[in-house]
């Protein structure tokens, strides 16, 4: 009898090991997420990190008569000048950092208000500071005020304060360079175009809020990129990439191509948005029009719940086009094309 049990345990643990090995091999994302979580912790607290997570429903003392969503009691002696609030839109996490820190914030201090919209809470402490981290259920803008040793926080739906909300994604980043041709990496070209686009929106006085998945050499996960669009309920989600010939070799193939979600059958569809993007980028850059491409095989296109267009501005495997893509003047033209496309899309009713 014991032998049979032992045999089964051996067989089952064998199967389990195989499953774990195979999934780690096929889903590097698991590894990437673990690394990301570790990096985030490192950033939050340097030395002796104390981390506590708490159930928002249990910690937030429900109180309806507050003139704010949350009233967060600050430790003694902490004033407005000692508090730093960071709203990380990409992960929908709000970090409230205060000097000094206390050992166990949730045990010692009170948070009053409503736990609605808070998915999870954590408290980190190291030698220098304490950090309360609130993970929210969507992208919010913050309103804060300080009064008598407390921080009052309100979460505001961006659509309540802006006429339009856009998410712009510069493809790849950090150790994920995308294609690299003649020492030029796709991640840098994508980012350079998005930075030119950001300049245009920074000068735009209309009530348009643009959230960027990245504005420097970072690499949010694909899920974080698309969830930023979904959780901001963006009017448009634009992802900027550059193309390579399938062989990876330098060829004569050149031009602009835009990918869309073929499963999006809304009147203001992903395909219609892609058409608008293609036309406008070809107009400003003078590049060859290579048409539209079905994109549901691409994760961020398939899982986008908002109108999405993935623009492949040009081919890095064409000597002449790579040269153009690497120039500031062409990057500006591409950005202008995307900017014009966004404006046209708004006129169409997106
Ligand atoms: Zn790419």
Span 288-320, pLDDT tens digits: 999 999 999 999 999 999 999 999 999 999 999
DSSP-derived pairing of the beta strands 256-260 and 289-294: parallel
pLDDT surpasses 60 at 16: no
pLDDT band at 14 (very low <50, low <70, confident <90, very high): low
Tell me, yes or no, whether 101 and 193 share the same domain. no
Q: Are residues 182 and 264 in the same domain?
A: yes
pLDDT at 111 over 80: yes
Is it the case that residue 278 has pLDDT exceeding 60?
Answer: yes
CB neighbourhood size of 109 (10 A): 18
Is 37 a domain residue?
no
Sequence-distant (≥ 6) Cβ neighbours of residue 218 within 8 angstroms: 173, 174
Tell me how many domains the chain contains.
2
pLDDT of residue 39 exceeding 50, the answer is no
Is residue 229 helix, strand or coil?
helix
- Asked whether residue 187 is domain-assigned, the answer is yes
Give the pLDDT of residue 127. 76
Q: Is the pLDDT of residue 221 over 50?
A: yes
Which pLDDT belongs to residue 198?
Answer: 98
Quick check: is 26 in a domain? no
Angstrom distance (rounded) from CA 80 to CA 228: 29
- 186 and 131 co-located in one domain: no
Q: Give the distance (Å) from ligand 1 centre to CA of residue 243.
A: 7
CA of 222 to the centre of ligand 1 (A): 12
Is the same domain home to 267 and 308?
Answer: yes
Structure-model confidence comparison of residues 115 and 23, the more confident one: 115
Joined tokens for residue 193: 């175009």
159 CA distance to ligand 1 centroid (A)?
Answer: 30
> How sure is the predictor about 33, in pLDDT bands with cuts at 50, 70 and 90?
very low
Confidence of residue 29 (pLDDT cuts 50, 70, 90): very low
Q: Are 184 and 320 within one domain? A: yes
Within-domain flag for 107: yes
pLDDT digits (tens, 9 = 90+) for 152-207: 999 999 999 999 999 999 999 999 999 999 999 999 999 999 999 999 999 999 99
266 alpha carbon to ligand 1 midpoint, in Å?
A: 26
- Read off the pLDDT band of 3 (50, 70, 90): low
Distance 192 CA to ligand 1 centre (A): 14
Q: How confident is the model at residue 83 (pLDDT cuts 50, 70, 90)?
A: very high
- pLDDT on residue 15: 59
Radius of gyration of the chain (CA): 24
Question: Are residue 220 and residue 103 in the same domain, yes or no?
Answer: no
Same domain for 226 and 117?
Answer: no
**139 and 73 share one domain:** yes
The rounded Å distance from CA 199 to ligand 1 centre is 22
At 272, which CATH number? 3.40.630.40
Domain match, 201 and 325 both: yes
CA of 185 to the centre of ligand 1 (A): 10
What pLDDT score was predicted for residue 35?
A: 41
Cα 186 to middle of ligand 1, angstroms: 7
In contact, 8 and 1? CB cutoff 8 Å: no
Query: Residues of the chain with pLDDT > 90: what percent?
Result: 76
Ranges 101-110, 115-124, 201-210, most confident: 201-210
Q: Are residues 174 and 127 in the same domain?
A: no
* 317 in the same domain as 232: yes
Alpha carbon of 171 to ligand 1 centroid (Å): 5
- pLDDT, the chain, mean: 89
User: pLDDT band for position 13 (50/70/90)?
Assistant: low
- Answer for the pair 76, 82: CB distance below 8 angstroms, yes or no: no
CB 270 within 8 A of CB 307: yes
Q: Which of 19-23, 55-59, 68-72, 282-286 has the highest mean pLDDT?
A: 282-286
The whole-angstrom distance between residue 276's C-alpha and the CA centroid of its chain comes to 24
37 pLDDT higher than 60: no
Task: Indicate which CATH number applies to the domain containing 80.
Answer: 2.60.40
Of the three residues 108, 136, 156, the one that is the final residue of a domain is 156
Quick one: pLDDT at residue 67?
82
The total number of residues written for the chain in this structure: 350
Separation between Cα atoms, residue 212 and residue 198, nearest integer Å = 9
pLDDT at 24 over 70: no
Are 344 and 284 contained in the same domain?
A: yes
Q: Do the beta carbons of residue 83 and residue 97 sit within 8 Å?
A: yes
Is the pLDDT at 218 greater than 90? The verdict is: yes
Domain that holds residue 58: 45-156
Residue 279 makes CB contacts below 8 A (sequence gap 6+) with 341
Tokens read off for 283: 């107009």
Let me know: does 325 contact 314? Beta carbons within 8 Å.
Answer: yes
């Amino acid at each position: 009898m014991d032998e049979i049990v032992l045999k089964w345990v051996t067989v089952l643990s064998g199967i389990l090991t195989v499953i774990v090995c195979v999934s780690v091999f096929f889903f590097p994302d698991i590894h990437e997420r673990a690394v990301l979580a570790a990096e985030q912790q490192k950033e939050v607290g340097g030395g002796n990190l104390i981390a506590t997570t708490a159930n928002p429903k249990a910690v937030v003392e429900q109180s309806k008569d507050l003139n704010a969503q949350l009233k967060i009691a600050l430790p003694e002696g902490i004033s407005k000048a000692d508090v730093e609030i960071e709203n990380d839109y990409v992960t929908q996490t709000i970090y409230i950092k205060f000097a000094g820190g206390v050992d166990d914030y949730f045990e010692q201090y009170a948070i009053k208000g409503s736990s609605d919209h808070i998915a999870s809470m954590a408290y980190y402490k190291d030698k220098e500071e304490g950090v309360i981290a609130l993970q929210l259920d969507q992208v919010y803008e913050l309103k804060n005020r300080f009064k008598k040793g407390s921080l009052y926080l309100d979460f505001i739906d961006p659509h309540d304060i802006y006429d339009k909300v856009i998410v712009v994604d510069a493809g790849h980043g950090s150790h994920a360079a995308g294609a690299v041709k003649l020492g030029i990496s796709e991640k840098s070209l994508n980012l350079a175009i998005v930075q030119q686009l950001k300049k245009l929106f920074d000068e735009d006085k209309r009530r348009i809020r643009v959230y960027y998945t990245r504005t420097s050499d970072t690499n949010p996960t694909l899920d974080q990129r698309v969830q930023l669009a979904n959780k901001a309920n963006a009017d448009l989600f634009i992802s900027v990439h550059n193309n390579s010939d399938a062989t990876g070799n330098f060829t004569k193939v050149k031009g602009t191509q835009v990918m869309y979600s073929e499963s999006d059958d809304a009147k203001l569809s992903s395909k219609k948005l892609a058409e608008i993007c293609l036309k406008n980028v070809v107009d400003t850059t003078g590049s060859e029009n290579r048409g539209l491409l079905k994109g549901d095989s691409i994760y961020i296109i398939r899982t986008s719940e908002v109108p999405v267009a993935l623009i492949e501005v040009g081919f890095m495997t064409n000597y002449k086009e790579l040269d153009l893509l690497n120039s500031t003047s062409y990057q500006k033209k591409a950005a202008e094309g995307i900017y014009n496309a966004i404006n046209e899309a708004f006129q169409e009713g997106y």
